[in-house]
Amino acid sequence: MSAKPKPAFFVVLVVVIVGLLGYAFRGSLFPEGKDGKIGYIDMKELGGGDAVEATDASVPTTVKEYSYVASEKLPEVTATSDYDPLEARTVKFALNVWAGWAPIILQNGGAAPGKLWKTPGGEDFKVELVLIDDPVAMRDAYAGGKIHIGWATLDMVPLFMEGLQKDSRIMPRIFQQVDWSNGGDGIVIRRSAAANPAKPTIGDLRGKKIALAQNSPSEYFVLNALVNGGVQPSEVEFKYTQDAFQAAAAFNADKSIAACVSWAPDIYNLSEVASNHLLVSTATANKLIADVWFARADFARDHPDICEGLVRGIFEGIESMKAEAGRKEAADLMATVYGIPAGETFAMLGDAHSTNYAENREFFMNQNNPANFQRTWETAYLLYRKMGRVGTPVAFDKVMDFSILQKLGDEEPYKSSRNEYQVRFAPQTVQTLEAEGSEILTKVVTVHFFPNSWDLEKKIMKRENGEDVEVDYDPNVGYVLEEIGQLAGQYGAAYIVIEGHTDDSRKGQVSAQLVKELAGNRANAVKEALLRKFETLDPDQFKVEGVGWDRPAEAGNHAKNRRVEIKVIALEQPE
């Protein structure tokens, strides 16, 4: 194993927003402009001259925090507690071999219960860190009361809920996010498995074998990438291993396996081989995998002061790691806990971004954050239901407990905490981004435009039961914006290129300048709608371009050609 090299390549994810859902209300509309009720945009609004597009009667079928009190949603625990008692007030806290646990290892001075932690009331308690790499073994120890605190990536927890929800005492109480995976997870593919070996894509995995650890963040990562890339899980063959390191070993040994999902440093060691390619890592999908810890519900009920002391102590550990001396000490302690040379544990630290108080508040409480707790939780359920792995979803607010975070918000230094996980987007032209990148996935979603309009909330009249009823021209805009916003949030180190397109129904009759202007207005409308809906998105992440009618989605299909296309061009970021 060696330190992680810095990837020096562009990864391009292309998300094509094309088409209309069809002609759901065909024949039931007034002609555009009748009685002035649904007229197209006035020529003056287009800068003068003729209308760019002919009339067409075809129609397609901010920081806002959660206002409820956390305790109102969480299931009440009425049964007698059933966990191993705290000996000498020592909490047993499980963790796995991962860079993100560095702050708690540092704060605890290693794994042994030696250093004293403090409750908010000033009482002492100790923490014993228990290394359990196997997530199923960790779940069983947690459910059996052998440990009081469990580890997970948030996407893993829904896999455990079928059993845990049967007993209110072991329902998880998730109090804190410790990190975002920041390059430590990735997908490596053999170039020989790709249609174009120079530029492999997620689509190349269709019909292939993929090695990965089941019930792990690797599974969520690859499922997310496959579905966004238009590949259904049923179209690939999964080869499950006990952990991510064994997945890398299986890929290396068995040439019939086309790709593996694993962790650093293995993903970087494998990608150094010329015949392999790092398809995508969490250096680009940097807000996809969130590590959290959770307490048993009965333990949280019995020891709220200790749970708060853990939250406070971990935040202190995160602050200590901002100094080089703190990072060096953490790496030395990790080497002992994990049984890995200190040089390698120090290199591991770049694979995770420790999340401070402000970033935790954004994750837990900001409803407008496209990569928040709720959206991560619900996306995981959606993907695992596609696999038939989970049943009826458990609501996110049955496990998410932001009560401690909310309390700390009135205190310093938490009150002054600021989000420190910001990607700076350098000035780039669309042409440069497209030329220097390589596409890894394409996702088709739909957004619809009325002729000569860029209004995403456009209303039209529809005849229903003999009456004229006003309806949305595209009733699915909100859903489409949600999809795009989530993708932009998950791939937080990516440029989002928004291209506007028009139909060619007036080709040869209007100027190219008007066509470009209408197309650009459509692209800008989508950008502005995304920024209004998701306040945490960076305007500099988005580039807009008016393409016009030069690249129709389908020749002659004017309704389908009035569209925007979204390209996600991801750049691996340096630490």
Residue 440 pLDDT more than 70? no
How much of the chain exceeds pLDDT 90, in percent? 64
User: Tokens at residue 214, please?
Assistant: 């089941």
* Same-domain status, 488 and 373: no
| Top-confidence residue, 24 or 151 | 151
- The answer to whether residue 525 sits within a structural domain is yes
Q: Give the per-residue pLDDT at 14.
A: 37
The 10s digit of each residue's pLDDT in 360-407 is 999 999 999 999 999 999 999 999 998 899 999 999 999 999 999 999
The 10s digit of each residue's pLDDT in 407-434 is 999 999 999 999 999 888 888 888 887 7
Strand, coil or helix: what is 14?
A: strand
pLDDT category at 442 given cuts 50, 70, 90 is low
Alpha helices in 231-356 (DSSP H): 244-253, 266-271, 297-302, 304-320, 324-338, 342-348
Q: Give the per-residue pLDDT at 446.
A: 66
Final residue before a domain boundary, out of 368, 401, 434: 401
Q: Give the per-residue pLDDT at 474.
A: 85
Q: Give the per-residue pLDDT at 445.
A: 65
| Top-confidence residue, 572 or 308 | 308
How remote is the C-alpha of 32 from its chain's centroid? Answer: 40
What is the rounded distance in angstroms from the CA atom of residue 249 to the CA atom of residue 246?
5
- The answer to whether residue 406 sits within a structural domain is no
How much of the chain exceeds pLDDT 70, in percent? 87
What is the rounded distance in angstroms from the CA atom of residue 342 to the CA atom of residue 323?
17
* Same-domain status, 346 and 364: yes
Task: Give 357's DSSP letter.
Answer: H
Other beta carbons within 10 angstroms of residue 31's beta carbon come to: 9
What is the rounded distance in angstroms from the CA atom of residue 176 to the CA atom of residue 15?
32
Task: Give 305's DSSP letter.
Answer: H
- The answer to whether residue 373 sits within a structural domain is yes
For 279-295, what is the mean pLDDT? 94
- The answer to whether residue 254 sits within a structural domain is yes
User: Tokens at residue 504, please?
Assistant: 């060619």
Residue 110 near residue 74, CB atoms below 8 Å? no
Final residue before a domain boundary, out of 221, 246, 281: 281
At 378, give phi and psi (nearest 5°): -70, -35
The 10s digit of each residue's pLDDT in 206-223 is 999 999 998 788 999 999
Segment holding 187, helix H or strand E: strand 185-190
Q: Give the per-residue pLDDT at 398.
A: 97
Domain total in the chain:
3
What is the rounded distance in angstroms from the CA atom of residue 494 to the CA atom of residue 491?
6
The 10s digit of each residue's pLDDT in 503-529 is 999 998 999 889 999 999 999 999 999
What is the rounded distance in angstroms from the CA atom of residue 290 to the CA atom of residue 177?
7
Max intra-chain CA distance, the chain: 85
Measured N-to-C along each axis, helices 373-386 and 157-164 cross at an angle, to the nearest 10 degrees, of 80
Residue 18 pLDDT more than 80? no
* Same-domain status, 432 and 551: yes
Q: Give the per-residue pLDDT at 434.
A: 77
| Residue closest to 151 by CA, chosen among 82, 96, 91 | 96
Q: Give the per-residue pLDDT at 48.
A: 41
Q: Give the per-residue pLDDT at 19.
A: 36
* Same-domain status, 368 and 496: no
pLDDT category at 38 given cuts 50, 70, 90 is very low
- The answer to whether residue 419 sits within a structural domain is no
* Same-domain status, 106 and 167: yes
* Residues 6 or more apart in contact with residue 194 via CB below 8 angstroms: 200, 201, 204, 277
* Same-domain status, 328 and 464: no
What is the rounded distance in angstroms from the CA atom of residue 575 to the CA atom of residue 571?
12
* Same-domain status, 170 and 311: yes
Measured on CA atoms in the order 150, 398, 290, 280, is the torsion positive or negative?
A: positive
| Residue closest to 268 by CA, chosen among 258, 279, 257 | 279
Q: Give the per-residue pLDDT at 242.
A: 85
Q: Give the per-residue pLDDT at 568.
A: 75
* Same-domain status, 222 and 257: yes
**Mean of the per-residue pLDDT values of the chain:** 86
The 10s digit of each residue's pLDDT in 325-362 is 999 999 999 999 999 999 999 999 999 999 999 999 99
The 10s digit of each residue's pLDDT in 249-268 is 999 999 999 999 998 889 99
What is the rounded distance in angstroms from the CA atom of residue 555 to the CA atom of residue 550?
11
Q: Whole domain around residue 225: which residue ranges?
A: 185-281
* Same-domain status, 326 and 367: yes
The 10s digit of each residue's pLDDT in 101-134 is 999 999 999 999 999 999 999 999 999 999 998 8
Beta bridge partners of 471: 460
- CATH number of the domain residue 552 falls in: 3.30.1330.60
Residue 24 pLDDT more than 90? no
| Residue closest to 483 by CA, chosen among 533, 520, 449, 539 | 533
Q: Give the per-residue pLDDT at 36.
A: 29
- CATH number of the domain residue 261 falls in: 3.40.190.10
Other beta carbons within 10 angstroms of residue 499's beta carbon come to: 24
